[in-house]
A and B are shown apart, each in its own frame.
Chain A
Amino acid sequence: MLQVFFPHGIARYVAGVQTQVAAWQLPVGGFIAGFGARMSNGCTSGHGICGLASLQIPSLLAVATFLTTAIVVAHVVLALGGH
């Protein structure tokens, strides 16, 4: 049974593929994203997939907004030497 779920062994699975994004960026970015997602009533899934697929203008505006700030912040982080 275990062989089916972990064909390379559990140790290999636990070792996994670890992200190289800096450890501080994950909780800090996650906190900000969680705060914003609840405030905005949606995230990339809620506004991005469900909202756009049901042709809702507020979701379209939300997607345009979060794509813009995400692109800006991702470039700024890179410029400042982050991951």
Chain B
Amino acid sequence: MKPVSLLAVLAGGALFGFGLASSTMISPEVVLGFLRQQDFGLLLVLGSAVCVTFVAYRFAPGAMGKPLLEAQFGTHPSELNRDTILGAAIFGAGWGLCGVCPGPAISGLGAGNWPLLLALIGLALGSYVQGRFFGPVPVLRAAA
């Protein structure tokens, strides 16, 4: 990855954090409210994000030919196996317990919501333990 691409990553991350904050998804209370059917805003945010991302994924490669900064577009296909589903079930259990998923755990710190550091440390430890003691390290595959 070129150094200038890191700036694009930084800008993308900042925009993602801005969106999570302005949509109030950085608040565990809001997320838990969704999971308890008190506030369906999360569905609107997720649905909108999927639509925007779908348009970019579907049409940008054809329209642009190659990315602005790198040699080619990549993909990261999901695999369907036992770990995908079992892992998702475990992830959901943790998410439902604390109302924090990885994105808001990081971006919520920008709002001065310091207890989220506890969730972030937990996320990092859980990820470490999974990779260290349970199963192979997931490999990201570049596009052919």
Task: Write the residues of chain A forming the contact surface with B, with a CB cutoff of 8 angstroms.
Answer: 13-21, 23, 25-45, 47-59, 61-63, 65-75, 77-78, 83
Complex contacts, A48 vs chain B, CB 8 Å: 46, 50
A27, chain B: closest CB distance, angstroms: 4
- The secondary structure that dominates the B interface is helix
Q: Is the CB of A43 within 8 A of B102?
A: yes
Task: Write the residues of chain B forming the contact surface with A, with a CB cutoff of 8 angstroms.
Answer: 16, 27-29, 32, 35-37, 46, 49-54, 56-57, 75-80, 83-103, 105, 111-116, 118-131, 134-135, 138
- The secondary structure that dominates the A interface is helix
Complex contacts, B127 vs chain A, CB 8 Å: 34-35, 37-38
Complex contacts, A36 vs chain B, CB 8 Å: 87-94, 126, 130
